[in-house]
Each structure stands twice: as structure tokens, then as C-alpha cells.
Amino acid sequence: MEKFGSEVYEQMWGSSEFTITGNLKGYERVDLLKEISVPTLFTCGHYDEATPSTTAYYHSMLPESEIVVFEDASHQHHLEKPGEYLEVVRNFIDKTENRQMFNNPLNPISLKN
């Protein structure tokens, strides 16, 4: 637990994941999402603590972003549905690379290793 930095976490967030009591209480920068200019994929599970409606809200604030909600999954949808999750991410990366190649064929952005 020492490497986790729990003192910093508690100072910034608070002692509970579900109730913000630290320095970040009241910190909100959703208005800056529109300034993000890279392809962005939002994912969540249907039963996620980051609810589909909350995730959809952030998605709506970020132009040209995409959202995928995994049915019958929670916050760890990447572990609960690894095959579906990897397929979604791979498709997003492939689509992003193709778009980058089309928009700037002399300087494509590679997202794969």
C-alpha cells in the first residue's frame, strides 16, 4: 500500500471512493472537453458506477468522440467481457488509424506497437 500514495489520494480525493471530501471537491473542467482534438473512446458497463448516462454526458461534450456501453457488465467491463472489449478497442484504433491516414497520408499517427 506504500507505493499507492494513499496520503496524497486522501488529501486530493478523500477517504472514500464514493464521497469527495478532498481538495478536488468542486473541481470541474467539463467545459474544456471540447478542446480535446484527438480521437476518444468512452466505455462503461451497463451496471457501472460511472453510469451510462454520466458517460453519455461526457461523450456529448467531446466532439467526434464515441461511446460503447457493455451490457451485463459493471465498472470492470474490460475484465468481465475481455473479448468484446478488445474488439471494440481494436475497431476504434483501426478506424482512427484509417482516418488519420486519409486526413494526413504523409504523417499518419500510429496507435499500434
Domain 36-113 has CATH 3.40.50.1820: yes
DSSP 101: H
- Residues 6+ positions from 13 with CB-CB distance below 8 Å: 20, 21, 22, 24
**What does the domain layout of the chain look like in residue ranges?**
1-28, 36-113
51: nearest Cα among 65, 67, 35, 62? 67
- pLDDT tens track for 60-104: 999 889 999 999 999 999 999 999 999 999 999 999 998 776 665
What kind and span of H or E run contains 70? strand 66-70
pTM of the model: 0.76
Distance CA 39, CA 65 (A): 6
Distance CA 30, CA 83 (A): 31
CA triplet 54, 109, 65: central angle to 5 degrees? 20
DSSP 19: B
Using pLDDT thresholds of 50, 70 and 90, give the confidence band for residue 4: confident
- pLDDT tens track for 28-54: 999 999 999 999 999 999 999 999 999
